[in-house]
């Protein structure tokens, strides 16, 4: 069977500095640790599912516990915080105790278990995303089992898998696809694949393969019941033109990559890769975020809401794509999303996330925008608040990876990563202010001298990168690739990496016609009113031919990753900060700027859709 090209190293200790360290600490202390007790209905809704009067629930209420758990475990991998670990263990113990005898672990009444409808959806009879809720619970439980070895968590996930097989496997009716809300409910394919990989119990794989068939199911009138993800991917249809272009579809699509590894079916791999590239090309915004109005539109300039859940799903799908292809350009995408949209959707304190993180606009907490999801006992819960931290947690999936050809370093920033690798214990310590500037001093320290290849990600935007190894210049440095350094490494070997931070541009079209995005390395430069004297309607034009800026010291009480001052064409001074920090103080921000003489810049030299390969 094919194996992932690159894998995360499970036994890695992460020590981050700088901006990211503050976010991780904040998210852990201010949100993940207090969230369950501040919002006890996250679990209570399972315990009183058959009590009267019925709770009035949103269709996706069953997802909150699972999304929360996935976020918490992924952050824990990065911080190893003992208090968070203890909190998760107690949370899982309680969650598992709320499973019904038949394996059901949702919030709906007995007669409505996995039927796809219930009498108490938003106060009336309506459709439920019940299988989707179970998908998220399974995902969280499996991650926690992997992290902790907790057998109760695995047993609980198995009982959910068994319940799905009992209800739907074989020629039973209704089928899972008949329960409706199929972008959501068919996501079970992904967690069933993960469960099969863990247990090797055949029915889980059989059920996943059955869902693969159900992707193409038709209604009596010939319309698609589900997203037809396999066939549309093989036919080369753009993702936004598929029958179900909402963001939830990215989760069932992740099942395609898993099925490729489990069965060797190359059609699943090709369809998955096609959809990833289609979104990267047509629906990924300038800030690395995905979705416009909660779905793909085939237009990265579309001003619709860029929902937190959508960007998180895009990052999770990208981590899968990176495992599948080992392409450094995919890691570039993850960095872009993380340093701009994902940090940007978080409050710097970690206390809240947004629902919408627009390219131009203001930042509002999800507690403003989607307050309709708040309920008694869960005032802070909504689909985004439980999901957002996963975006930061995902860094552990891609920061440092291992493949047959060696180690692959994707994360740049102040950090020490220490990993148990196939070549012994290796410590990678970075002294740097990146992304404030492009100089990275990296020390490579294997516990014992060892021969292996270390691959450094050379971002596609870094036109001229300089690399020195123990003082000697390294040749063969090409953007959009990994630089392979193969040698006998010994403690204290030193690499100096200078990434090209000169500005690069994305000239806008359609709704962003006559506007340009300006990047400094991976960071999208953004006007924020609070750093400037002019208002958003009065922004001066920059000249790309003579764009000179100077970095300003970070002395603000609201910290930034980057703050720089540029001379505009009319002589005024325009201060730009990193997208993630823009709007933190509640002021309006603009990332599509007025720029004259900006060159057209292709998204990526390695984009196979641009160069005609598939």
Nearer to Zn ion, 357 or 462 (CB): 357
Per-residue contact string for residues 261-300; x = within reach of Zn ion by CB under 5 A: ----------------------------------------
Give the span between the Cα atoms of 483 and 600, in whole angstroms. Answer: 26
599: Cβ–Cβ under 8 A, 6 or more apart, which residues?
A: 505, 507, 544
Cβ at position 564, least distance to Zn ion in Å: 32
Nearer to Zn ion, 327 or 382 (CB): 382
Cβ at position 63, least distance to Zn ion in Å: 10
Residue 305 binding Zn ion, by CB under 5 A: no
Cβ at position 376, least distance to Zn ion in Å: 20
Mapping DSSP to helix (H, G, I), strand (E, B) and coil, where does residue 536 land? helix
- Cβ-contact 30, 388 below 8 angstroms: no
Phi, psi at 292, each rounded to 5°:
-135, 110
Q: Which helix (H) or strand (E) holds 576?
A: strand 573-578
Task: Tell me the number of residues near Zn ion by CB under 5 A.
Answer: 3
By CB under 5 A, the residues from 232 to 251 that bind Zn ion are none
Cβ at position 576, least distance to Zn ion in Å: 29
Nearer to Zn ion, 384 or 562 (CB): 384
Cβ at position 383, least distance to Zn ion in Å: 3
Stretch that binds Zn ion, among 74-82, 306-314, 320-328, 524-532 (CB under 5 A): 306-314
Take residue 27 and report the two structure tokens written for it.
């998210």
Cβ at position 88, least distance to Zn ion in Å: 22
Nearer to Zn ion, 367 or 456 (CB): 367
Cβ at position 428, least distance to Zn ion in Å: 34
Nearer to Zn ion, 43 or 383 (CB): 383
Pick from 98, 309, 343, 562 the residue near Zn ion by CB under 5 A: 309
Q: According to DSSP H, which parts of 337-486 are helical? A: 343-344, 366-369, 389-393, 395-398
Q: Angle formed by the axes of helices 188-199 and 130-148, to 10°?
A: 30
- Cβ-contact 360, 589 below 8 angstroms: yes
By CB under 5 A, the residues from 361 to 390 that bind Zn ion are 383-384
- Cβ-contact 112, 125 below 8 angstroms: no
The CA dihedral of 181, 183, 184, 186, to the nearest 10 degrees, is 100
The CA dihedral of 303, 309, 310, 311, to the nearest 10 degrees, is 90
Q: What are the DSSP calls for 95-138, one per residue?
A: HHHT--TTS--SSS-GGGTTTSEEEEETTEEEE--HHHHHHHHH
Nearer to Zn ion, 96 or 310 (CB): 310
By CB under 5 A, the residues from 89 to 148 that bind Zn ion are none
Nearer to Zn ion, 327 or 354 (CB): 354
The CA distances from residue 435 to 330, 362, 522, 596, in Å, are: 18, 23, 7, 25
Give the span between the Cα atoms of 488 and 492, in whole angstroms. Answer: 12
Give the span between the Cα atoms of 252 and 507, in whole angstroms. Answer: 33
Nearer to Zn ion, 218 or 371 (CB): 371
Cβ at position 18, least distance to Zn ion in Å: 28
Nearer to Zn ion, 63 or 130 (CB): 63
Nearer to Zn ion, 388 or 540 (CB): 388
Cβ at position 384, least distance to Zn ion in Å: 3
Cβ at position 471, least distance to Zn ion in Å: 49
Q: Which helix (H) or strand (E) holds 254?
A: helix 250-263
Binding footprint of Zn ion on the chain (CB under 5 A): 309, 383-384
């Amino acid at each position: 069977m094919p194996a992932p090209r690159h894998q995360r190293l499970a036994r890695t200790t992460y020590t981050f500095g700088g901006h990211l360290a503050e976010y991780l600490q904040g998210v852990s202390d201010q949100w993940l640790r207090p969230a369950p007790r501040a919002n006890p209905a996250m679990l209570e809704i399972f315990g009183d599912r058959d009590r009267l009067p019925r709770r009035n629930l949103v269709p996706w209420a069953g997802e909150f516990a699972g999304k929360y758990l996935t976020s918490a475990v992924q952050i824990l991998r990065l911080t190893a915080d003992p208090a968070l670990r203890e909190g998760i263990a107690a949370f899982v113990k309680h969650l598992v105790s709320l499973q019904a005898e038949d394996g059901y672990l949702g919030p709906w009444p007995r007669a409505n278990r996995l039927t796809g409808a219930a009498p108490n959806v938003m106060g009336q009879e309506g459709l439920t995303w019940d299988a989707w809720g179970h998908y998220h619970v399974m995902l969280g439980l499996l991650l926690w089992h992997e992290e902790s070895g907790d057998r109760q968590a695995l047993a609980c996930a198995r009982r959910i898998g068994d319940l799905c097989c009992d209800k739907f496997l074989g020629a039973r009716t209704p089928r899972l696809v008949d329960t409706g809300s199929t972008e959501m409910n068919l996501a079970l394919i992904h967690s069933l694949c993960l469960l099969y990989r863990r247990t090797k119990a055949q029915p889980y794989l059989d059920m996943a393969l059955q869902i693969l068939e159900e992707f193409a199911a038709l209604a009596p009138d010939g319309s698609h019941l589900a997203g037809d993800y396999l066939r549309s991917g093989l036919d080369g249809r753009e993702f936004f033109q598929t029958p179900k272009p909402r963001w939830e579809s990215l989760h069932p699509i992740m099942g395609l990559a898993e099925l490729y590894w489990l069965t060797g079916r190359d059609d699943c791999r090709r369809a998955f890769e096609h959809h990833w590239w289609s979104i990267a090309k047509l629906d990924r915004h300038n800030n690395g975020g995905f979705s416009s109005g909660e779905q793909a539109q085939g237009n990265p300039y579309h001003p619709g809401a860029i929902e937190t859940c959508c960007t998180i799903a895009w990052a999770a799908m990208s981590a899968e794509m990176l495992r599948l292809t080992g392409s450094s350009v995919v890691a570039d995408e993850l960095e872009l999303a993380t340093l701009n949209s994902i940090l940007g959707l978080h409050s710097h304190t970690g206390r809240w996330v947004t629902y919408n993180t627009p390219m131009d606009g203001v930042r509002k907490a999800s507690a403003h925008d989607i307050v309709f999801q708040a309920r008694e006992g869960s005032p802070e819960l909504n689909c985004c608040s439980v999901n957002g931290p996963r975006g930061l947690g995902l860094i552990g999936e891609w920061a440092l990876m291992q493949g047959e050809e060696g180690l692959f370093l994707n994360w740049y920033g102040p950090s020490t990563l220490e990993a148990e690798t196939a070549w012994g214990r290796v410590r990678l310590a970075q002294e740097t202010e990146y992304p404030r500037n492009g100089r990275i001093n990296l020390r490579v320290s294997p516990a014992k001298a060892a021969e292996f290849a270390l691959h450094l990600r050379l971002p596609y935007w870094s036109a001229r990168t300089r690399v020195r190894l123990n003082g000697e210049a390294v040749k063969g440095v090409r953007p959009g690739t990994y630089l392979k350094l193969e040698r006998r490494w010994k403690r204290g070997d030193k690499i100096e990496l200078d990434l090209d931070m000169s500005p690069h541009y994305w000239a806008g079209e359609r709704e962003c016609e006559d506007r340009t995005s300006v990047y400094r390395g991976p960071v999208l430069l953004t006007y924020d009113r609070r750093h400037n004297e002019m208002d958003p309607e009065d922004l001066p034009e920059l000249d790309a031919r003579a764009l000179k800026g100077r970095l300003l010291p970070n002395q603000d009480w609201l910290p930034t990753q980057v703050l720089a001052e540029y001379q505009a064409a009319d002589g005024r001074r325009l201060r730009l900060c990193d997208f993630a920090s823009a709007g933190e103080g509640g002021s309006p921000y603009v990332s599509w700027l007025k720029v004259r003489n900006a060159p057209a810049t292709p998204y990526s030299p390695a984009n196979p859709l641009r160069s005609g390969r598939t």
